[in-house]
A and B are shown apart, each in its own frame.
Chain A
Amino acid sequence: MSSALPDIDPEEDTKIFVPLPEGNLLVVMPPLLRTWLCALARALDAAATAEQGPMSLNLFGPVNPELDQDDVVVVLQRQMAVDAATAEVLDNSTATEITIDQGFDWLRVIQLGLRAVSGPLGDQLILELDVTSELLASVLSMLSFDLCEALSL
């Protein structure tokens, strides 16, 4: 699977998520960026549900730093949260309007992608998404900033 990042300038003041008067968010996202976000969601989902996947501890860090690994309940909670967020993005990848709840799921995927760039998933993501880490981080930062701004209003 490879989805080259669309031609988006992270420095440009482009609004991707626009708050609507009734509370929802308008999603003004180019189709290629949507495809790319779906590929990111699939990669994160696969990593989160892998039995010994790098996402479990290396990406998140342990809940209790005194232990080598988290217990099964914590791991399961984390997998379910990531699974729900990635499913939300994949199920509504073509939506032009999303709710605030859905917006927070999109934010999770974007933030986890951002965190993965500098972690052990970075190389895998970059390979799958066919981009450089610098560009990947820039676009994800732009999306996160824009979505945070929309969710703050």
Chain B
Amino acid sequence: MEHLLAASAVSPAPSLSDTGLGTNVAVLERVDTAVELPYEVILWDDPVSTMALVVIVLKRVFHFSTEKATELMMIAHETGRVVVWAGDRAEAESYCVQLHTFGLSATVSSS
């Protein structure tokens, strides 16, 4: 799983006069960080797409083996949905768009 640095807020450095310490003062910056949870690409079962189409598109987009693509396709077919990839948001959205352009139903959600 990949994690993203979602936010980075740097507090303004105090001026030297504010510190009252004169020159040669190392000013420490406070950095607030938050870890963003991974995003999942969810493939939804739909009545239009054939099984063969789903398999070759999963292989094409994610470079899955035929076995893995077939397994994921079957899970989507039987349960209605399957998580096909998880990671950072931008990549997840990019993968989702690729699935869309092959006519597949896919969404991105944070896990």
A contacts, CB < 8 Å to B: 60-66, 73-74, 77-78, 81-82, 85, 104, 107-108, 111-112, 114-115, 118, 144-145, 148-149, 151-152
Q: Which of B56, B101, B102, B105 contacts A61 (CB 8 A)?
A: B105
A82 to B108, CA, bound (A): 20
A87 to B98, CA, bound (A): 17
Q: Which of B50, B56, B97, B109 contacts A151 (CB 8 A)?
A: B56
* Also in contact, A77 and B94, with CB within 8 A (given A111-B53, A118-B48, A148-B53): yes
A104 to B93, CA, bound (A): 20
Is B30 on the interface with A (CB-CB < 8 A)?
no
For chain B, the bracket of interface size reads 20 to 34
Give chain B residues whose Cβ lies under 8 Å from the Cβ of A107.
Answer: 53, 102
Do the beta carbons of A145 and B50 come within 8 Å of each other? yes
* Also in contact, A152 and B55, with CB within 8 A (given A61-B107, A63-B107): yes
Q: Which of B48, B52, B100 contacts A148 (CB 8 A)?
A: B52
Give chain A residues whose Cβ lies under 8 Å from the Cβ of B56.
Answer: 148, 151-152
Q: Determine the main DSSP class of A at the interface with B.
A: helix
A133 to B55, CA, bound (A): 27
Do the beta carbons of B100 and A61 come within 8 Å of each other? yes
A78-B97, A148-B52 are known contacts; what are 16 more A-B pairs with Cβ within 8 Å? Answer: A63-B96, A63-B108, A73-B90, A78-B100, A81-B98, A82-B101, A104-B60, A108-B103, A111-B103, A112-B101, A115-B48, A115-B103, A148-B50, A148-B56, A152-B52, A152-B56
Give chain B residues whose Cβ lies under 8 Å from the Cβ of A82.
Answer: 101
Do the beta carbons of B103 and A114 come within 8 Å of each other? yes
| CB closest residue in chain B, given A74 | B93
